[in-house]
Amino acid sequence: MDKAARTKRFIVEKTALLFNVQGYAGTSISDMTAITGLTKGSIYGNFTNKEQVALAAFDFNVDLVFHGLKNTQVPGNSALQNLIALFDFHRDNWRDIALNGGCPLLNAAVESDDNLPFMKGVVQRSFRLWAKSIAAIIEDGIKKGEFKASIDPQHYAYTFVMLIQGGVLLNKITDDTKHIATAVDRIQQIIKEEISA
């Protein structure tokens, strides 16, 4: 990695938490220079504008969550085990995520919907990728005969995303773990009663 790439990486790593905690609209160039120790010229020498930094920071934050989710997947496990592990991740790690400003997908979705049109497409793509990864596990379970062949993997993937995000939101606003636990319990009930063969 050359010096320019290292500097860009440094800026993104330093500002990612800032953007997730303060919001993308609420983070100023002064905040970015303070957290990085770099000048405005140095930041804009590596990124065209604040929007580019914000997009790179969002990608960085989402990659951290997706990396954690990916680590729950064990190749030798059944599709059922991998599907349950995917949602247990949220119950087990929500406090760490909350300490870093909360779920970056949820934060950016709320903010970009009304205030940051430049981010909306990127946020939509991240939600689609998340749902696609869930649907892929369900499809694998259908192929292996673990899950019913008649179910719609996309429908359940988005249902699970909605339940998790609702639980995360309520956990964050109430500082009570029961909401994400309720969401995961409901997902497990759906898996047992509606998906499993």
* 150-192 residue pLDDT tens: 999 999 999 999 999 999 889 888 888 899 999 999 999 999 9
> Does residue 127 share a domain with residue 44?
no
> Does residue 107 share a domain with residue 47?
no
Chain centre to alpha carbon of residue 52: 19
> Does residue 78 share a domain with residue 19?
no
Q: Is residue 9 part of a domain?
A: yes
> Does residue 121 share a domain with residue 28?
no
Q: Is residue 3 part of a domain?
A: yes
**DSSP bridge pairs for 196:** 147
Alpha helices in 23-116 (DSSP H): 29-36, 40-46, 50-70, 79-99, 104-114
CATH of the domain at 47: 1.10.10.60
Chain centre to alpha carbon of residue 108: 10
Query: Could you tell me the residue range of the domain that residue 44 belongs to?
Result: 1-53
CATH of the domain at 114: 1.10.357.10
pTM comes to 0.89
For 122, the token pair is 């990127």
For 99, the token pair is 């300490």
**What integer pLDDT is reported at residue 99 of this predicted model?**
77
